[in-house]
Amino acid sequence: MTTKIERIGAKIRQLVVEMSERSHSGETGSSLSISDILAVLYFKTLRINPKKPDDPNRDRFVLSKGHGAAALYAALALRGFFPLKTLLGHRMNGGALHGHPSKGAVPGVEVSTGALGHGLSIGVGIAYALKGTKSKVYVLIGDGECNEGSIWEAALSAGALCLPNIVAVVDDNRFQGFGASRENNPFDMAKQWSSFGWGVLRVDGHDARALEKAFARAAKATKPFVIIAKTVSGKGVPAVEGTLGAHYYVPDEKAVKAMKRV
């Protein structure tokens, strides 16, 4: 039996495919791979209130891999931050939503991102400012994004400062723009993070219960914590799942119909 969270994950995927088809734009695979992570974060883990998007006591979420914006917008709309019809303006002339998150475009987007390797440093700054409060900072980064040196500057800094209120999630979908992520980083990612002073947990990024448990454990950590979530690029679209092509996949009407049947 599917749970509510699993249904939300599927709904995010459906909305992402619709947005991509409408705007004929890609980066679909990297939005689909984070659908279940966002479902758990926005409907279970994050302490947020769509009616008070600037509540100082809220948890913060930073989508460092900004190209997953379609999934973020879908999650925010489903959670009630803005009407679902706003999604019609994703990457469309005169629409509200860029292909990468822009703070202020809609309520709920905490940080403008798009160039890779920026979000973790911003998250460290937010966490440093929120030291001693109940608020946590969650930063979602891509496995390919970890090629960026600035990610490791931020990881080193958070580790050295022993920040207990920052949780990174690596969307380990194993593909980046032009190849398999392992070609560029063939090493053990868990060891890389732990050597920078982070607590590490590996989890199936499409298993809602496992993700929920992982976030609960991360919340209790006394140092920075990273969840390496194994995901599937293009999740939910069998024709492209787990392929390099999923990254820039542009769905057609048939694919949209197929998603609705799920």
| Residues that bind another protein in the complex, under the rule CB under 8 A | 103, 110-115, 117-118, 120-130, 149-150, 153-154, 156-157, 160
| Rounded Cα distance, 201 and 185, in Å | 18
| Rounded Cα distance, 233 and 253, in Å | 20
| Rounded Cα distance, 182 and 219, in Å | 29
Return all residues near 261 (Cβ < 8 A) that are at least 6 apart. Answer: none
Instruction: Identify which of 212, 175, 213 has the alpha carbon closest to the alpha carbon of residue 9.
Output: 212
Q: Do residues 80 and 50 touch, judged by C-beta distance below 8 A?
A: yes
Least separation in angstroms between residue 5's CB and another protein is 28
**Burial (Cβ within 10 Å: 0-12, 13-18, ≥19) of residue 129:** exposed
Specify the residue, 81 or 249, whose C-beta has the smaller distance to another protein: 81
Least separation in angstroms between residue 110's CB and another protein is 7
| Rounded Cα distance, 238 and 246, in Å | 10
Residue 91 — left, alpha, or beta (φ > 0 → left; ψ -120 to 50 → alpha)? left
Specify the residue, 100 or 235, whose C-beta has the smaller distance to another protein: 100
Specify the residue, 149 or 186, whose C-beta has the smaller distance to another protein: 149
Least separation in angstroms between residue 36's CB and another protein is 26
Specify the residue, 11 or 100, whose C-beta has the smaller distance to another protein: 100
Q: Which tokens is 92 given? A: 């469309």
Q: From residue 3, give the alpha-carbon distance in Å to each of 6, 10, 17, 171.
A: 5, 11, 21, 22
Least separation in angstroms between residue 117's CB and another protein is 8
Least separation in angstroms between residue 107's CB and another protein is 15
Give Cα 184 distance to the centre of its chain: 21
Least separation in angstroms between residue 120's CB and another protein is 8
Specify the length of the chain in residues: 262
Least separation in angstroms between residue 171's CB and another protein is 19
